[in-house]
Chains A and B, each alone.
Chain A
Amino acid sequence: MSMTFNLAWRLFKHEARRGELTIILLAIVLSVGAVLSLSLFSERLQGALKSRSAAFIAADAQLRSDKPIDESWLVKAKAEDLNTAKQVSTRSMVFKDDDMSLVDLRAVNEHYPLKGMVGVAEVPFGQKKDTNTLPERGEAWVQSRLFQSLKLQVGDKIDIGDARVTVTRVLADIPDAGFSVFNTDPIVLMRMEDLPSANITGPGSRARYISYFAGEASDVKSYSSWLLPQLNDDLHSWRTVQDDESAIGRSVARAERYFLLASLLAIVLAAVSIAVAAQRYAQRHFDPVAIMKTLGATKQTIRKVYLIQILLITLLGILIGLVVGFIGQHVVVSLVADRVDVSLNVWHWRPVIIAIATGATCAILFSLYPLLQLFSVPPLRVLRKDLDASLRSRSIQFVASGGAIFALMWMYSQDLKISAILFASGAALVIGLLVATYFLIAIGRKLGSGSIGPWQLAWARIKRRAMDNSVQLISFSITIMLLLVVLVMRNDMVSQWRAQLPQGTPNYFLTNITPDIQKRLDRHFSDNSVDINEFFPVTRGRFVSVNGEGVNTEVSKEEESSNEGRRGLGREANLTWGNSLQKENEIIEGVWHGELDSDYDKGWYPVSVEEGVAERLDIKMGDMLNFNVGSEIVKTKVTSLRKVNWQTMQPNFFFVIHPEAMAAFSPTYITSFYLPTDRKDELTKLLKPFASVTMFDVDARINQLRDIVEQVSVAVEFILVLVLMAGSLVLIAQVQASMDERRQEIAILRTLGAKGSLIRKSVVFEFLIIGTVAGFMAALANELSLYLLQTNVFQMSATLHVEYWFVAPAVGALVVGVLGAIGCWRLLTLNTGELLRKMV
């Protein structure tokens, strides 16, 4: 053993010093460094985003219950090092003198909120400011709308049940307010200690008890695994940051998936670079192995010597990679620090373990085939240089590399689906490329014949090394494809995010607009240069039956609003009517009733139903739905199903009925408008003449959303840059590896007196051809992967990216061509004697 170790160590030492190991070492350093920096950064970023999204539930986790929560559960939570807070919420009437209003009462203890901040304003509808304080006992903070409806002033007293409290501040926002334009009542925030005196949470009340938990993720997890088995599904619901189904929650989840994808692709890129480097390393050792075998070394000795060498290289690569990765993520974090609140204080072990595992797995599994080839070099090579490895079957390589990539993807993502999609499209790409290469070579055969010029030399080389070229082409294509996937996903995702909230997105909603003031309001707003959007008629209707079968409409408010941005089917639904299809609505089945002939059977009216609610309530096309509006039954038949983009900030409806059905009813209208933040002061003036109209201020929420989108976009861009860097390094490694193979030919051509320009051009042309084909194949494979990823993983609408069909081949040709030219230039600077010597 000591002999083999000494020999391995000696080879390692000298080769490292002479730069022979640079490429393979760099590949391992790159893989470990890229994976560590990416995953460490993404872990930190996820932490930052999670704490942002934690603000939307005011904690890391919430337990909601219809009955008071067992105190012992909170004691246990404290024992697990979790912070806790409590809230009781209920809908209640609030009185001021003779006026009254239904409010969303939130009674909290002194620890609320655990995450996020309570926002207050100086005046109703004024600018929001965060505060660390809460109402004192005997005080209440109320939202602007209540100031409006009860004509309140700060310092007024209001009655909540039997308690009388003083309104001391304008409440702008609480972290877990939720968001729904319909049916939300103004929030009144008060102290839980005042609740008993109000006497409103007795038996029969619909109070909701919420406990908040915050702490280390592991503590929350262990607590939840202790708690969950004890919960009663009918009574309790457990929500964590991850369960956040809001638009923000979905954006964050999508961003997380993107980081995951980018990191996965970084792993694949790293793996490809290791495979390329290992192949090169093995080929350079064919002679030493043949010599050692000739001198009497057994296979076992050779195996040991090279395994020890690979282990030494891997260890060194991992060590340097960890340092590089750590520095890398520090640099990235410091670059984004002013835009994203990423903390460097917490140390994450998972990325370190993953980076080490990636380096080790890649180095060992990807060098397996080259090493097996190396071990199989016959000693006779010392006499016959043309003999190389006797191991020819590439199936081992495909199985080992494929298995390694899949295992890494799965281990890293813990998501079989995303791994399978990437892997399947990778496999399809490999097969497609093999076919394409042979096809290309067949076409090129004609071009390659005739007098010798750079094109002919380039084609002749491609033709002669068909197999090597396919492998090279595949690795170029995979690299370009992965870069494209990361780039296009980023563009699509960021543009879809931004499209949800374009500049001028309505930030105020008005409801309760009666027909008699609709025109006046419209005119008043335009006089004040505020554009007001479409008015939608709304009337409340009770959804009573489907095909004559009664529907249980006793759905609790919690269930109704469990999906932020949507309304479930409570006691009443908001019905609208109209002949034109709303923006961001798409008919997926049937025909929109605006386009239906009007001579339908008069026993019913057409209704268009949103697909989600149709699925939930098992409503099919042609079903008869009855609504109770006022005292009348409106009979409808489902003539279309609609897909609605719930992520837009516009009023959306589950049911849109034909206008004729509703002609007899008097609606109120809902509309929205955009007012720039700097004109916020004009709100009071704008609304003063319309006291009965209710206004919802979603400006803060929209800004918050936009903020998150911006932050996530910045992060996504940095990750893109990291992956691009990783990809470029892989390309360089590939070109460099292939330069070795060209060295001999260049030496011969030089010896024969070929001009440097002929050789350079022929090599550049060869790389141009390979780059173009690789780029084109990558664009096609990219399209397939994107389609699968966007529809299956990211829940986005898939789009074609025809521009990349042109961009990718052009960029492929340019990048690969330039890299080829640089590599070739280096070789051409050596004189022929040096070249020939280096061949030995």
Chain B
Amino acid sequence: MTPMIKTSTVTKTVNTSEGSLQILQPISFEVKAGESVAIIGASGSGKSTLLGLLAGLDEVTSGEIYLDGEALHNMDEEQRAVLRGSKVGFIFQSFMLVQSLTALENVMLPAEISGLDNPKKLAMDILEQVGLAHRAHHFPNQLSGGEQQRVAIARAFITSPKILFADEPTGNLDAKNSGKIEELLFELNRNTGTTLVLVTHDTELAEHCDRQLTMHAGELTETTSASTSPSEVS
């Protein structure tokens, strides 16, 4: 079976005023469809950089990335955008809602961009699922942090993405809200069979995932694996 994500010797080098700096050492690993993977590591370890590359938000310096069999590393920005629209969902630490759109309109946004039929109904249904139908017409600044993140989760799932990338999804929330969001995220992940890649430094959250990969100074190592062998990471 084709892995949902496959990376092969992916590196990332950036140019700084003091010369070039390799922030990702060659990384190779695979993630199967429906799997949930946590990438953990300290600040500055390179985990967000890796997420950006996997999601097609940034370009690799060298190496290959395949998403659902499609060669991301060969695509230009426009092609990557189309791929993101059709196969990828996102959840961010700072929610990243469009402040001038209501909760409902924020959720509709990816559906509209991908050209899905009846985006409003889809959005209302999913807002119902996350328990925010009654807040559909509120703007982000009228919602609490937890509610905003639930809107973001609804937005991420509306296009039924094959892969969901989450960057510190509970990083801005208190313990009570964090628990709710975790629950919701994994529930939707299970129900929809989405592949989940989650970047966090919250080990408790990471433990909910099938696998945990640890980033340290740009290098990736497999920490735990519930169902796969460590050999898949090099």
Contacts and interface: CB of A to CB of B under 8 A. Distances in A.
A550 interface: no
Nearest to A300: B78
Contacts of A299: 77-78, 81
B78 A18 contact: no
B52 A287 contact: no
Contact of A296 (B58, B97, B110): B110
B82 interface: yes
Among A292, A297, A383, A385, the one with the most B-chain Cβ atoms within 10 Å of its Cβ is A383
Among A290, A291, A295, A840, the one with the most B-chain Cβ atoms within 10 Å of its Cβ is A295
B48 A296 contact: no
Interface stretch (A2-10, A167-175, A616-624): A2-10
Interface in A286-334: 287-288, 290-299, 301
Contacts of A14: 100-102, 105, 139
A288 B95 CA distance: 12
B48 A384 contact: yes
Interface string B38-62: 0000000000100110010110000
Interface stretch (B25-33, B83-91, B128-136, B182-190): B83-91
B141 interface: yes
B102 A296 contact: no
A749 interface: no
A518 to B, nearest CB: 87
Interface stretch (B112-120, B209-217, B225-233): B112-120
B150 to A, nearest CB: 17
B224 interface: no
A3 B116 CA distance: 10
Contact of B113 (A11, A301, A384): A301
A420 interface: no
A14 B95 CA distance: 19
Nearest to A287: B96
Interface residues of B, number: 37
A293 B55 CA distance: 12
A7 B96 CA distance: 17
A6 B119 CA distance: 12
B100 A296 contact: no
Contacts of A301: 113
A295 B57 contact: no
A815 interface: no
A130 interface: no
Contacts of A6: 112
Contacts of B85: 295-297
Contact size class for A? 20 to 34
A291 B98 contact: yes
B147 interface: no
A812 interface: no
Contacts of B155: 295
Contacts of A380: 52, 57-58
Contact of B110 (A287, A295, A837): A295
A382 B115 contact: no
Contacts of B55: 294
B169 to A, nearest CB: 13
Contact of B81 (A3, A298, A382): A298
A18 B138 CA distance: 13
A15 B167 contact: no
B119 to A, nearest CB: 9
B217 to A, nearest CB: 19
Contacts of B141: 837
B92 interface: yes
A379 interface: yes
B160 to A, nearest CB: 13
A296 B82 contact: yes
A11 B115 contact: no
Among B81, B97, B109, the one with the most A-chain Cβ atoms within 10 Å of its Cβ is B81
B100 A298 contact: no
A296 B98 contact: no
A20 interface: yes
A747 to B, nearest CB: 15
Given A294-B84, A837-B141, A10 B52 contact: no
Contact of B57 (A20, A379, A837): A379
B94 interface: yes
Contacts of B51: 383
A577 to B, nearest CB: 81
Contact of B114 (A11, A296, A379): A296
Nearest to A4: B112
Among B84, B88, B92, B96, the one with the most A-chain Cβ atoms within 10 Å of its Cβ is B96
Contact of A10 (B58, B90, B105): B105
Contacts of A288: 98-100
A16 to B, nearest CB: 9
Contacts of A294: 55, 57, 84, 90, 96
Contact of A379 (B81, B94, B100): B81
Interface string A820-840: 000000000000000001001
A15 B100 contact: yes
B82 A298 contact: yes
Contacts of A383: 48, 51-52, 57, 92, 167
A410 B113 CA distance: 43
Interface string A255-295: 00000000000000000000000000000000110111111
Contact of B112 (A3, A290, A378, A385): A3
A301 B110 CA distance: 12
Contacts of A296: 81-86, 88, 110, 113-114
A382 B55 CA distance: 12
Contact of B101 (A11, A290, A293, A840): A11
Contacts of B83: 296
A292 B109 contact: yes
Nearest to A12: B100
A288 B109 CA distance: 11
Interface string A365-399: 00000000000001110111100000000000000
Contacts of A840: 94-95, 99
A295 B164 CA distance: 12
Contacts of B84: 294-296, 379
A382 B141 CA distance: 18
Interface string B134-149: 0000010100000000
Contacts of A379: 57, 77, 81, 84
Contacts of B57: 294, 378-380, 382-383
A298 B79 CA distance: 8
Nearest to A11: B100
A6 B92 CA distance: 26
Interface string A1-40: 0010011001100110010100000000000000000000
A295 B55 CA distance: 11
A22 to B, nearest CB: 13
Contacts of B105: 10, 14
B65 to A, nearest CB: 15
A295 B88 CA distance: 8
Nearest to A834: B141
Contacts of B82: 296, 298
Given A10-B101, A288-B99, 6 more contacts: A292-B113, A293-B81, A299-B78, A378-B58, A379-B57, A840-B99
Top 7 closest A-B pairs, CB basis? Answer: A296-B85, A295-B110, A380-B57, A296-B84, A288-B98, A14-B100, A15-B100
Interface of A: 3, 6-7, 10-11, 14-15, 18, 20, 287-288, 290-299, 301, 378-380, 382-385, 837, 840
26 contacts: A3-B112, A3-B115, A14-B105, A15-B100, A288-B99, A288-B100, A291-B97, A291-B98, A292-B98, A294-B55, A294-B57, A296-B81, A296-B86, A296-B88, A296-B110, A298-B82, A299-B77, A299-B81, A301-B113, A379-B81, A380-B57, A383-B51, A383-B52, A383-B167, A384-B48, A840-B99
